[in-house]
Amino acid sequence: MTSFSTRAIHAGQEPDPTTGAVIPPLYQSTTYAQDGIGGLRNGYEYGRGTNPTRDSLQQQLAALEGGKHAFSFSSGLAAEDALIRGLLAPGDHIVLGNDAYGGTYRLINKVLGKWGITNTAVDMSDAAALAAAIAAGNTKMVWLETPSNPMMKISDIAAAAQAAHDAGALLVVDNTFASPYLQQPLALGADVVVHSTTKYIGGHSDAVGGAVILNDDAAAEEVGFIQFAVGAVSAPMEAWLTTRGLKTLAVRMDRHSATAMTVAKWLREQPAVEQVLYPGLEEHPGHDLAKAQMKDFGGMVSVSFKGGEAAARKVAESTRLFLLAESLGGVESLMNYPSEMTHASVKGTELAVPENLLRLSVGLEDGEDLIADLDQALGQL
Ligand SMILES: Cc1ncc(COP(=O)(O)O)c(C=O)c1O
């Protein structure tokens, strides 16, 4: 098998057979001419079912996560919804991290809860708590985010896979924060990987999307059926942009990781800072585990302030390069106040995020410029 960077550039990217165009064309067509009734050309019939641009992306995603099947959706949450509805039934139980992405919890708890899916949220980095939560219910799925959003907790993927499999459940890993370049959950024993491709995979903050990658043929058939029958597919333009972004994932992640480490180390020295949550720092409780199961530590850094909510809000509203915005994983640095932004939907629940916490998505700008920006913002406290 060729190396990651080579697969990123070539998997699913055959030159166009008609013209030799090096970049496979963007197929905006919703439908395909048939050679007589039922005479489909290469199986293409209608855009919700299949589209060559989406196929290219799906092949690229499967090749990069080391999976047999990949499905691309209109958003990360659409991917999660299709996965859960495809593989679970009313009465089934999901165990998920108590700091899972707020939208994932909202989907599982508030939307799928109405349709009979039950859930328990636990600290996934606590093996005993995970085992107890699995034992207590009719658990069919364990849902793991590592590093988690925004608390940057690291959980052991191989151990969680074992705990899930012992109970006959599947392990799903949300690999959005690490990306397949830094972490390969399927190789560590996970059954399914999900992504918000909106983030590092797309990488340029210009295409919302999601993905499910898995090996099992029967499970893939169920997910493929929901993708077709419900229809939350990625649009051709979004799939094309995501493919383009994905080709540079390796170089982007190396640079994101290096700059995030510099920013984390600088933040740690600032008197206003209470704690820096970055798995690359030796004092992070998940540092050794992250070192073992990740290639590098990624571009996400969370930071809490001694001055509480007021200090966090002031810094969030004072940076100039770090744009105050939802989302993450793009070339530009972003600043997020989770408690009122990405995680507002879990405010007041057991998944609530501390009010003195900011989450930084460290982009690809010059590290010194980013630190100067943070310095002037902290100077306003
Ligand atoms: C870790 C994680 N998973 C899933 C999602 C949902 O993805 P999307 O916003 O593309 O629906 C997000 C979005 O922020 C996320 O951060």
> What is residue 342's predicted lDDT score, i.e. its pLDDT?
82
Name the residue at shortest CA distance from atom 10 of ligand 1: 76
Helix axes 52-65, 236-246, angle to 10 degrees: 30
Name the residue at shortest CA distance from atom 16 of ligand 1: 101
> What is residue 1's predicted lDDT score, i.e. its pLDDT?
61
Residue 345's nearest CA partner among 164, 108, 120, 135 is 108
From 27, 101, 105, 337, the catalytic residue? 101
Name the residue at shortest CA distance from atom 9 of ligand 1: 76
174 noted as active-site residue: yes
What is the residue-wise DSSP string for 153-166?
A: ----HHHHHHHHHH
Residue 157's nearest CA partner among 141, 169, 145 is 145
Which of the 8 DSSP states describes residue 114? Answer: G
Residue 185's nearest CA partner among 150, 130, 194 is 194
Instruction: Give the whole-angstrom CA distance, residue 189 versus residue 133.
Output: 20
Candidate from 197, 198, 302 with most ligand 1 atoms within 8 A of CB, to mutate: 198
Name the residue at shortest CA distance from atom 14 of ligand 1: 327
Q: Which atom of ligand 1 is nearest to the CA of 149?
A: 1
Helix axes 249-268, 367-378, angle to 10 degrees: 40
Residue 213's nearest CA partner among 105, 96, 88, 79 is 79
Six-digit token pair at 62? 């499967």
Under 8 Å between Cβ of 88 and 219 = no
Name the residue at shortest CA distance from atom 13 of ligand 1: 196
247 noted as active-site residue: no
Six-digit token pair at 42? 């290469």
- 234 exposure class (CB count in 10 Å sphere: 0-12, 13-18, 19+): buried
Which CATH code, of 3.40.50.2020, 3.90.1150.10, 3.90.25.10, 2.40.50.100, is assigned to 249-378? 3.90.1150.10
- The DSSP bridge partners found for residue 69 are 214
> What is residue 345's predicted lDDT score, i.e. its pLDDT?
79
From 153, 199, 313, 359, the catalytic residue? 199
Convert the pLDDT of each residue in 168-202 to its tens digit.
999 999 999 999 999 999 999 999 999 999 999 99
Q: How far is the CA of 110 from the centre of ligand 1 (A)?
A: 16
Candidate from 199, 206, 233, 351 with most ligand 1 atoms within 8 A of CB, to mutate: 199
Q: Is-same-fold flag (4-246; 249-378)?
A: no
Whole-prediction pTM: 0.97
Q: Is the dihedral of CA 218, 106, 146, 351 positive or negative?
A: negative
How do the domains of the chain map onto residue ranges?
4-246, 249-378
52 phi, psi to nearest 5 deg? -60, -35
Which of the 8 DSSP states describes residue 27? Answer: -
Under 8 Å between Cβ of 319 and 377 = yes
Q: Which atom of ligand 1 is nearest to the CA of 210?
A: 10
Which of the 8 DSSP states describes residue 345? Answer: G
Under 8 Å between Cβ of 279 and 287 = yes
Helix axes 367-378, 308-316, angle to 10 degrees: 130
140 noted as active-site residue: no
Extract the residue ranges of the chain whose pLDDT is less than 70: 1
Task: Name the fold adopted by 4-246.
Answer: Aspartate Aminotransferase; domain 2 (3.40.640)
367 phi, psi to nearest 5 deg? -60, -40
354 phi, psi to nearest 5 deg? -55, 145
Under 8 Å between Cβ of 250 and 8 = yes
Q: Is the dihedral of CA 364, 366, 371, 372 positive or negative?
A: negative
Ligand 1 is surrounded, with C-beta below 6 A, by: 75-77, 101, 103-104, 145, 149, 174, 176-177, 196, 198, 208, 210, 342
Six-digit token pair at 26? 């963007």
Q: How far is the CA of 33 from the centre of ligand 1 (A)?
A: 36
> What is residue 79's predicted lDDT score, i.e. its pLDDT?
98
Under 8 Å between Cβ of 315 and 307 = no
Candidate from 176, 208, 361 with most ligand 1 atoms within 8 A of CB, to mutate: 176
Q: How far is the CA of 39 from the centre of ligand 1 (A)?
A: 39
From 174, 191, 296, 373, the catalytic residue? 174
268 noted as active-site residue: no
Convert the pLDDT of each residue in 133-174 to its tens digit.
998 779 999 999 999 989 999 999 999 999 999 999 999 999
